């Protein structure tokens, strides 16, 4: 897998930029635009939250009307346009229409996404000003980083990645920008990810690959499996490269692997940039009797506040891990259970090993391996510690 620079403009025929329109009173960048020189097939995954934000409803309609004719994405941060009623839906549509008008594009060719505060109407004259600025700047300040900056909220770092595949005469590129932090409670912290690729792939295969890739990446950082009102992943495939995926063959697998790597990079950047995060932990459950049981145990440990605060305090209070496993609702034989923390066995054959040094918790990246010795299914999930700063950031944020 070859990393290349460029983010969403690494693939041929894509441009991107970001501007400060004034939606954020801080004066920070708050709008982004991604454009393709050709119509794209679109892959999309949206939140499972019942209260879907207006831009999601509008983007779903556009994709339904024009699944292979998408030319770009307009997005804003600072305002989620969620729980804003009919006026919110009209505003999201207007965002799309203004962008299409300024770019001289047909109807239903631009997708829309928003992130930020819930329950406030978008300031539409500011949004229109921002769109005009985006359209002016996209050729002179063509930059994936600027677009990534335009969708940040509590993020402290921009998030982008890109890969290139080359084999003989065939090659394609894939790139992405993303935003999201606070994966500690992802059910309310919006995650956006916009992917571009110059591979040629049908709408159907693109969406199949996207669902599979999301399941093994973004769904592994959402501790309780739920999503915010605005979570959105878009993939635009403009077919500018020589690489064409026609069926579920080897080339589909190559595309899928590159899509997974791209989403995995953004997912891990989101975890690492979690609100007040000082440690990232991978919880890896193996040898479960059923797939659901492996997932239940992994998510229960990932979700335990006592495990999270133990990691933050670098305090080897191993009983908290074992008690969390025991409260997962999965039937577990304690005498078969084996638990390792950063490869050091702490529990085996029904007993703690007596390893109580806290040096293995000093690392920034912690791995907890949980072997149930009951079957052949496994599951992993990423989580974080819980710090003073998490409380501080979320107690004070408006």
Task: Give the residue with the Cβ less far from a second copy, 74 or 227.
Answer: 227
Residue 95 phi/psi, 5-degree rounding, is -55, -45
Please report, as residue ranges, which positions from 25 to 54 form the binding site for a second copy (by CB under 8 A): 48-51
The least distance separating a second copy from the CB of residue 92, rounded to whole angstroms, comes to 15
The answer to whether 190 is a known catalytic residue is yes
Give buried/exposed letters for 289-328 (b at 16+ CB in 10 A, else e).
eeeebbbbbbbbbbbbeebbebbbebebebebbbebbeeb
Q: Measure Cα distances from 388 to 77, 187, 278 in Å.
A: 26, 20, 10
Nearer to a second copy, 252 or 352 (CB): 352
- Which residues, including other chains, have CB under 8 Å from residue 235's CB and lie 6 or more apart? 42, 43, 44, 195, 196, 197, 206, 210, 259
Q: Minimum Å distance from CB 117 to a second copy?
A: 7
Q: Which of 93, 30, 81 is nearest to 53 (CA)?
A: 81
The Cα–Cα gap between 202 and 335 comes to 51
Taking alpha carbons only, the member of 316, 318, 328 closest to residue 285 is: 328
Among 111, 127, 226, 277, binds a second copy (CB under 8 A): 226
Task: Write down the least CB distance from residue 96 to a second copy, Å.
Answer: 22
Q: Closer CB to a second copy, residue 104 or residue 398? A: 398
Q: How far is CA 117 from the centre of its chain?
A: 18
Give the binding range for a second copy (CB under 8 A) out of 31-39, 199-207, 284-292, 385-393: 385-393
C-alpha 220/C-alpha 328 separation (Å) is 17
Helix (H, G, I), strand (E, B), or coil: what is residue 321? helix
Which pair of structure tokens corresponds to residue 353? 């090993």
Of 270-329, which residues contact a second copy (CB under 8 A)? Answer: 300, 304-306, 309-310, 312-313, 315, 317-320, 322-329
> Interface mask (CB under 8 A) for a second copy, residues 184-223, using x and -?
xx-xxx----------------------------------
Query: For residues 206 and 233, which CB has a smaller minimum distance to a second copy in the complex?
Result: 233
368 forms part of the interface with a second copy (CB under 8 A):
no
- Number of residues forming the site for a second copy (CB under 8 A): 62
**How many CB atoms are located within 10 Å of the residue 376 CB?**
11
Considering the complex, state which of residue 132 and residue 309 has its C-beta at the smaller distance from a second copy: 309
Backbone angles phi, psi at 2, to 5 degrees: -100, 115
Using CB under 8 A as the criterion, what x/- string covers residues 92-131 for binding a second copy?
A: -------------------------xxx------------
The binding track of 53-92 with respect to a second copy, each residue x by CB under 8 A or -, is ---------------------------x-xxxx-------
Q: Report the C-alpha gap between 296 and 291 in whole angstroms.
A: 9
Interaction site with a second copy (CB under 8 A): 48-51, 80, 82-85, 117-119, 182, 184-185, 187-189, 226-229, 300, 304-306, 309-310, 312-313, 315, 317-320, 322-332, 334, 347, 350-352, 386-388, 390-392, 394-398
């Amino acid at each position: 897998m070859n990393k290349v620079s460029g983010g969403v403009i690494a693939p041929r025929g894509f441009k991107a930029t970001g501007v400060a329109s004034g939606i954020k009173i801080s004066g920070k960048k708050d709008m982004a635009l991604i454009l393709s020189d050709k119509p794209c097939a679109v892959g999309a995954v949206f939140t499972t939250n019942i209260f879907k934000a207006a831009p999601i409803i509008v983007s779903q309609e556009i994709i339904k009307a024009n699944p292979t004719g998408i030319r770009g994405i307009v997005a804003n941060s600072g305002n989620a346009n969620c729980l804003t009623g009919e006026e919110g839906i009209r505003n999201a549509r207007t965002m799309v229409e203004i962008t299409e008008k300024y770019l001289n594009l047909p109807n239903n060719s631009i997708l829309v996404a928003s992130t930020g505060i819930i329950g406030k109407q978008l300031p539409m004259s500011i949004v229109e000003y921002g769109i005009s600025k985006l359209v002016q700047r996209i050729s002179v300040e063509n930059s994936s980083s600027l677009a990534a900056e335009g969708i940040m909220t509590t993020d402290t770092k921009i998030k982008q990645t890109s890969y290139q595949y080359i084999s003989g005469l065939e090659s394609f590129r894939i790139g992405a920008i993303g935003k999201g932090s606070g994966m500690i409670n992802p059910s309310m912290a919006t995650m956006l990810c916009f992917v571009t690729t110059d591979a040629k792939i049908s709408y159907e295969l693109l969406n199949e690959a996207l669902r599979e890739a999301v399941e093994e990446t973004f769904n592994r950082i959402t501790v309780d499996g739920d999503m915010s009102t605005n979570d959105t992943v878009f993939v635009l495939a403009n077919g500018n490269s020589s690489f064409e995926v026609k069926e579920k063959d080897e080339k589909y697998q190559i595309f899928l692997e590159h899509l997974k790597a791209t989403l995995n990079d953004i997912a891990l950047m989101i975890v690492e940039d979690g609100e007040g995060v000082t440690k990232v932990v991978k919880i890896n459950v193996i040898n479960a009797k059923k797939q659901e049981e492996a997932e239940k145990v992994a998510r229960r440990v990932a979700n335990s506040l006592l495990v999270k605060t133990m990691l933050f305090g670098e305090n080897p209070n191993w009983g908290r891990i074992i008690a969390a496993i025991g409260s997962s609702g999965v039937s577990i034989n304690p005498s078969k259970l084996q638990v390792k923390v950063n490869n050091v066995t702490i529990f085996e054959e029904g007993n703690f090993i007596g390893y109580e040094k806290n040096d293995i918790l000093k690392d920034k990246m912690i791995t907890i391996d949980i072997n149930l010795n009951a079957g052949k299914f496994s599951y992993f999930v990423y989580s974080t510690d819980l710090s003073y700063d998490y409380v501080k950031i979320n107690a004070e944020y408006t």
